[in-house]
Amino acid sequence: MATETTQKQQEFSYIEAISQALDEEMARDERVFLMGEDIGMYGGAFKITEGFLQKYGEWRVLDTPLAESGIVGAAIGAAMMGLRPVVEMQFADFISCAFDQITEVAAKNHYRWGAAVPMVIRAPFGGGIHGGPFHSECPEGWFFHSPGLKLVAPSTPYDAKGLLKAAIRDPNPVIYFEHKFLYRRIKSLLPQEDFIVPIGKADVKRVGNDISVITYGAMVHLALEAAQTLTNEGIDLEVVDLRTLIPLDKETIYSSVRKTSKAILLHEDNKTGGIGAEIAARLAEDCFDCLDGPVVRIAPPDTPVPFSTPLEEFFLPKTGDIITAARKLAAY
């Protein structure tokens, strides 16, 4: 009974991991501060910063006007002067309003005139919550194309905490894609001591020999589920969790595919122009000889995220899709 309690105390949800990372980084480094809509008094639309205003005061937890471009721009300015802003998008979808500041100012300042922009944008993304076309987007594909940005997308509480800390400590602009669907759905033990998950390192979430499923975010859990089912059929999936989308961890990806010779690229982002395309291209370029079959992409169709339940279910990748694709590929 006593040990159970102790263990329970160390088990945290994905959303708690994010709160902890923010709290610990703010306590550790007084340059870290937060900006966003409704993050102060209200504690954020998802309650990630509940209690932060009371703890850190209104100049480190800023409730802002409804103006994403202005907020991100202000974060850039504060970052250049030496602070470490963390901006919350209420939903990742609204990042489109700040697109210009992110791609033209934040991404290019260091390259153009040597000004580092150490800031983080937290973007709660992804579907499965009946959010419809404006509250379910996976906008990461918009940002592959802007050199100077780093993009991360954790799938577990451990990675969520470690990557957010790493992002806050990074001297570059980092977009942190946190998957809303995972917030309260997964839990895991977190170390008590300070730790980071380095940006740019993928993680093999399941070792396997037959097919590499390369994925990130909520889809990691689908891949693990599919792997479970497929063991009975003797198909052994390796699940590579990218964790960082830019810069890509080519080594981990290539060494997995060199071993398995087969790759499934799985994401919740629209198929065309998703990170799956980039990885397929790199495999076809750098790892062509190690491929023993087509590179299969599993991703939603090229449509906005629909609202109604049967539509969203059809839209989102399913465990069954992975199983079917893996069977076909195994037989190739």
Ligand X SMILES: Cc1ncc(C[n+]2csc(CCOP(=O)(O)OP(=O)(O)O)c2C)c(N)n1
99 sits near a second copy (criterion: CB under 8 A): yes
Cβ contacts of 5 within 8 Å, gap of 6 or more: none
Distance CA 120, CA 107 (A): 12
What binding mask, one character per residue, do residues 62-81 give for ligand X by CB under 6 A, x or -? Answer: ----x-x-------------
Residue 238, SS3? Answer: strand
What binding mask, one character per residue, do residues 126-155 give for a second copy by CB under 8 A, x or -? Answer: -------xx----x-xx-xx-xx-------
- Residues 289-328, interacting with another protein (CB under 8 A): 301-304, 306-311, 313-315
Distance CA 251, CA 295 (A): 18
Q: Is 135 a catalytic residue?
A: yes
| Class of residue 285 by CB neighbours under 10 A (exposed 0-12, middle 13-18, buried 19+) | exposed
* Binding-site partner at residue 114 among ligand X, another protein, a second copy, none, CB < 5 to 8 Å by type: another protein
Instruction: Give all strands (DSSP E) within 28-67, no chain letters.
Output: 32-36, 61-63
**Cα dihedral 9/36/144/156 (nearest 10):** 10
127 sits near another protein (criterion: CB under 8 A): no
Q: How far is CA 224 from the centre of its chain?
A: 17
What binding mask, one character per residue, do residues 36-65 give for ligand X by CB under 6 A, x or -? Answer: -x----------------------------
Q: How far is the CB of 103 from another protein (least distance, A)?
A: 10
Question: CB of 303 within 8 A of CB of 271?
Answer: no
Closest residue to ligand X, judged by C-beta, is: 94
Candidates 12, 14, 33, 94: give the one binding ligand X (CB under 6 A).
Answer: 94
Angle between helices 275-286 and 250-260 (to 10 degrees): 60
Question: CB of 98 within 8 A of CB of 113?
Answer: no
The active-site residue, picked from 135, 179, 221, 267, is 135
**Cα dihedral 166/169/175/181 (nearest 10):** 40
- Residues 182-211, interacting with a second copy (CB under 8 A): none
What binding mask, one character per residue, do residues 4-43 give for another protein by CB under 8 A, x or -? Answer: ---------------------------x-x---xx--xx-
90 sits near ligand X (criterion: CB under 6 A): yes
Q: How far is the CB of 34 from another protein (least distance, A)?
A: 11
* Binding-site partner at residue 288 among another protein, ligand X, a second copy, none, CB < 5 to 8 Å by type: a second copy
Q: Which of 298, 314, 268 is CA-nearest to residue 127? A: 268
The CA–CA distances, whole Å, from 69 to 98, 178, 219, 239, 246 equal 4, 20, 30, 37, 22
Residue 128, SS3? Answer: coil
Distance CA 269, CA 202 (A): 18
What binding mask, one character per residue, do residues 78-117 give for another protein by CB under 8 A, x or -? Answer: xxxxxx-x-------xx-xx--xx--xx--xxxxxxxxxx
Candidates 10, 29, 66, 145: give the one binding another protein (CB under 8 A).
Answer: 66
280 sits near a second copy (criterion: CB under 8 A): yes
Stretch that binds ligand X, among 89-97, 109-117, 210-218, 309-317 (CB under 6 A): 89-97
196 sits near ligand X (criterion: CB under 6 A): no
Candidates 130, 184, 258, 328: give the one binding another protein (CB under 8 A).
Answer: 130
Kindly determine how many residues on this chain lie close enough to bind another protein according to the rule CB under 8 A.
75
- Residues 302-321, interacting with a second copy (CB under 8 A): 302-304
Q: How far is CA 296 from the centre of its chain?
A: 21
Interior angle at CA 11, CA 7 and CA 16, nearest 5:
150
Catalytic residue numbers, as ranges: 135
